[in-house]
Amino acid sequence: MTTYARIAVVVLLACFTSGAIAQDLPVTQQCLGCICEAISSCNTTRTCSGDVCGPFRITWAYWADSGKPTVRGESTESNSAYSNCAVDTYCSALSVQGYMSKFQQDCDGNGRIDCDDFATIHKIGGYGCKGAILPEPYGERYRQCKNIVGQYKP
């Protein structure tokens, strides 16, 4: 799948599934697509590897901090709730939204909270993003995607 196609898949899924609640979510669909592209080449067939799962490479702690969204009403206490959510494109995107709702901040000190900040928070974490530089190759992939899809507003 080409880079453009992968980004389109995530953006379309986010559009389709977020519907009316989109205005309440901090991360734009384009930004979600670039975070996904940067972290995993938006590989939606990837399951769990080590302590990370799914196209957004989410950890259990990240999922817990995001509010523990689940697939099809599964109990958050289920042993498989985290992994089922993390490998599901819609649920994992909701997890990213929940995490950013909790940790959104101006990481780069430019006076606004935007996709650059969300990309940093996603990779570095909610507690260590101030002045952080995105590690490679994540940073390069993110910048390439951003150049392809344009500038974002949070």
Q: Would you list the domain boundaries of the chain?
A: 3-149
Which tokens is 42 given? 């938006």
How many Cβ atoms sit within 10 Å of the Cβ of residue 151?
10
pLDDT tens for residues 5-62?
A: 455 444 444 444 444 345 589 999 999 999 999 999 999 987 899 999 999 999 999 9
Looking at residues 102-120, what average pLDDT do you find?
97
Distance (Å, whole) CA 21 – CA 129: 27
Looking at residues 106-133, what average pLDDT do you find?
96
| pLDDT at site 46 | 77
| pLDDT at site 24 | 80
Amino acid at 69: P
Distance (Å, whole) CA 10 – CA 97: 14
| pLDDT at site 150 | 78
Give the C-alpha distances (Å, rounded to integers) separating 40 from 6, 47, 56, 110, 113.
Answer: 10, 11, 7, 27, 23
- Identify the residue whose tokens are 């590989």: 43
Thinking of the domain 3-149, which architecture would CATH place it in? Orthogonal Bundle (1.10)
